[in-house]
């Protein structure tokens, strides 16, 4: 049977100050109509797997996650060990009751405009993967994006294509080359694989992780077993070494975005005639292309300013140029270095 695994353990540092450790971006009302991103992710998961949906989240986020999606089974990680361990834990837990399970892995913090098209693409990926491969959904790039990883294919073909290699986030010049070549897709982190196949890959590539997640699923001490595991992504730990990975190309019209920074919000939430995306008690005069949000009755007013991100959330306010939105994580790093946990 199909089982959807929604990954929801991230911290979303690039959307600080709204996204915090206890309430990360997937739980925030960032989607259209103020829908939390995780609610949309669960809806997409149910479209392909019915009610067989689990969410993998951090132990510290269980209560907050359950408050947003109360009717979904949760698997709690005792500590963060990146996506290889998180997906492995889900695979072992599901395989304990359904050894023949097919897993559909979906991040909780993405936006997809055409959800019916994503379901169709996932069906194609499942068919292409079969029992012996990993199937992915790659996104046709629309720009030379430096904030995403890429999948390289030998040729762009209709249907499923073998993945030649996984590529990390490139610099600007390399991203331009990728876009011009037509052989690269954005890596959306969306994939399908049998639980048995995923666990076998872990046993071969990350044996300590494979053994630990099986032991936890059998009732072992999760914290003790999880703590010594390497923190490594599924891409680095498994995908880059797997014998057969195939992908189906999603058209740009899918409307996919990983909501990786504040700069993504205008495309998701819309903008006014001056290109401003506003929320809360906000006044913008003689300004264009701004994102200005206030989460309470604090008034934010700007005059003669353009292409800025201004966000008031909780006990913090950020003002940054939109083209530097990816650098918000530097603020989070600085707060951590200074021991200012009350802002995190």
| DSSP-derived secondary structure for 280-306 | SSEEEES--S-EEEESSS--EEEES--
Q: What is the pLDDT of residue 9?
A: 82
Mean pLDDT across 138-144? 94
Across all residues in the chain, what is the average pLDDT?
Answer: 95
Q: What is the pLDDT of residue 158?
A: 79
For the stretch 220-278, pLDDT in tens is 999 999 999 999 999 999 999 998 999 999 999 999 999 989 999 998 999 999 999 99
Q: What is the pLDDT of residue 33?
A: 83
Instruction: Read off the tokens for 154.
Output: 């030998």
Question: Nearest CA to 92 among 39, 84, 298?
Answer: 84
For the stretch 70-79, pLDDT in tens is 999 999 999 9
Give this prediction's pTM. Answer: 0.93
Q: What is the pLDDT of residue 339?
A: 96
Backbone φ and ψ of 234, nearest 5°: -65, -30
Mean pLDDT across 50-55? 98
Mean pLDDT across 53-71? 96
Instruction: Read off the tokens for 123.
Output: 């069906």
How many angstroms separate the Cα of 138 from the Cα of each of 77, 161, 323? 27, 10, 25
How many angstroms separate the Cα of 111 from the Cα of each of 37, 222, 243, 312? 7, 32, 30, 23
**SS3 (DSSP) at 267:** helix
Question: Nearest CA to 37 among 52, 17, 23?
Answer: 23
Mean pLDDT across 291-318? 97
Q: What is the pLDDT of residue 154?
A: 87
For a pLDDT cut of 70, what percent of the chain falls above it? Answer: 100
Q: At 131, is the pLDDT very low, low, confident or very high (cuts 50, 70, 90)?
A: confident
For the stretch 184-194, pLDDT in tens is 999 999 999 99
Domains within the chain, CATH numbers bracketed: 2-257 (3.90.550.10), 262-343 (no CATH)
Q: What is the pLDDT of residue 71?
A: 95
Q: What is the pLDDT of residue 155?
A: 82
pLDDT higher than threshold 80 for residue 157: no
């Amino acid at each position: 049977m199909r089982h959807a695994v929604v990954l929801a353990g991230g911290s979303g540092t690039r959307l600080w100050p709204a996204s915090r450790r206890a309430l990360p971006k997937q739980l925030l009302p960032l989607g259209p109509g103020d829908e939390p991103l995780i609610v949309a992710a669960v809806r997409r998961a149910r479209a392909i797997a019915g009610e067989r949906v689990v969410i993998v989240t951090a132990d510290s986020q269980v209560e907050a996650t359950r408050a947003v999606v109360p009717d979904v089974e949760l698997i709690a990680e005792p500590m963060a060990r990146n996506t290889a361990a998180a997906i492995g834990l889900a695979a072992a837990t599901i395989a304990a009751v359904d050894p023949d399970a097919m897993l559909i892995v979906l991040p909780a913090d993405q936006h997809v405009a055409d959800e019916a098209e994503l379901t169709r693409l996932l069906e194609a990926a499942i068919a292409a993967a079969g029992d012996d491969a990993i199937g992915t959904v790659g996104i046709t790039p629309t720009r030379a994006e430096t904030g995403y990883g890429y999948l390289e294919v030998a040729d762009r073909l209709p249907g499923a294509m073998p993945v030649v290699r996984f590529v990390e986030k490139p610099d600007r010049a390399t991203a331009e080359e990728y876009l011009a070549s037509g052989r690269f897709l954005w890596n959306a982190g969306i994939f399908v694989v049998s639980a048995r196949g995923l666990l076998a890959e872990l046993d071969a590539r990350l044996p300590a992780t494979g053994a630990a997640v099986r032991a936890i699923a059998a009732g072992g001490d999760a914290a003790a077993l999880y703590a010594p595991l390497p923190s490594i992504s599924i891409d680095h730990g498994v995908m880059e070494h797997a014998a057969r990975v195939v992908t189906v190309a999603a058209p740009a019209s899918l409307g996919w975005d990983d909501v990786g920074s504040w700069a993504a919000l205008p495309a998701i939430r819309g903008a006014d005639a001056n290109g401003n995306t506003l929320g809360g008690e906000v006044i913008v005069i003689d300004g264009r292309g701004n994102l200005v949000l206030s989460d309470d009755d604090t008034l934010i007013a700007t005059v003669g300013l353009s292409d800025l991100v201004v966000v008031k959330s909780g006990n913090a306010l950020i003002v940054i140029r939109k083209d530097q939105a990816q650098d918000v994580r530097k603020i989070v790093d600085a707060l951590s270095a200074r021991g200012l946990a009350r802002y995190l």
